[in-house]
Amino acid sequence: MDFQLAGKTALVTGASRGIGLAVVTTLIAEGMRVVAGSRTIPPELAASGAIAVPVDLSAAEGSVQLVERALTELGEIDLLVNNVGGGDSDGRQTGGIATFDDEQWQRMFELNFFSAVRTTRAALPSLLRRKGVIVNISSNAARMPHAGPMPYTTAKAALTAFGKALTEEVGPQGVRVNTISPGPVRTFMWESPQGYGAELARSMGVPHAQLLAQLPAAMGIASGRFVEPAEVAALVSYLASPLAGSITGADHIIDGGAIKTA
């Protein structure tokens, strides 16, 4: 299917690996020009064909710097993908509320919520001129906040609400806003020995590989497997497309059937 994206422009945050890298490579394959922001520029991103920009979006000035660079490189922005998130690499994510100090809460919200708010605010004038599209990558944990680290799931719930509220403001001006909420995705967060999955396995006293093998069934994932980053990227492409011109203000769950409510 031709998503009619050739020649359009995109800004993608959190692009170094996982969902972000998959989104970048998919959009480029669709013919888009892409600026990709991330803290580090791994070889895979450098070789993708995107304009890779090193930036720390947990810092307040990072979003403005990234958008300014994107406008310099692209002229205008047709699509903004607020993907940056996570923040589990420091460990200490499997306890209860007493184990999370103010600094952890602040760091999680800076990365998973405020980065999207700031980047959107900076990019919005261009998106309004282009009648563009915003796609926020949240998590199905926003609807099941017990299913992950409390600061992370709460920040994602805020991001999902932000997308709904923003739609009411910018929809009448021609900008579409959608949220994608994946379930567990086969990424660093789950698979790395330094990620949340490994920490969770240690807290449960089971081998990391065993946790990964058993997790889909334990979470009630009907497909029996993790979501693949390319599947999320394909949904981003569709939502960015003119073919999805009447789809806005929605939260699109892609979790293999983990959420059971209608």
In whole angstroms, give the CA distance from residue 14 to residue 83.
Answer: 5
Q: Is 133 helix (H, G, I), strand (E, B) or coil?
A: strand
- Max Cα distance, the chain (Å): 54
Q: Is 34 helix (H, G, I), strand (E, B) or coil?
A: strand
Show which residues are catalytic. 152
Fill in the amino acid letter for 40: T
Q: Does residue 184 contact residue 81 with C-beta atoms inside 8 Å? A: no
In whole angstroms, give the CA distance from residue 124 to residue 224.
Answer: 39
In whole angstroms, give the CA distance from residue 236 to residue 52.
Answer: 19
In whole angstroms, give the CA distance from residue 166 to residue 168.
Answer: 5
Neighbouring residues of 92: CB distance < 8 A, sequence distance ≥ 6: 99, 100, 104
Q: Does residue 23 contact residue 233 with C-beta atoms inside 8 Å? A: yes
Residue whose token pair is 């945050």: 13
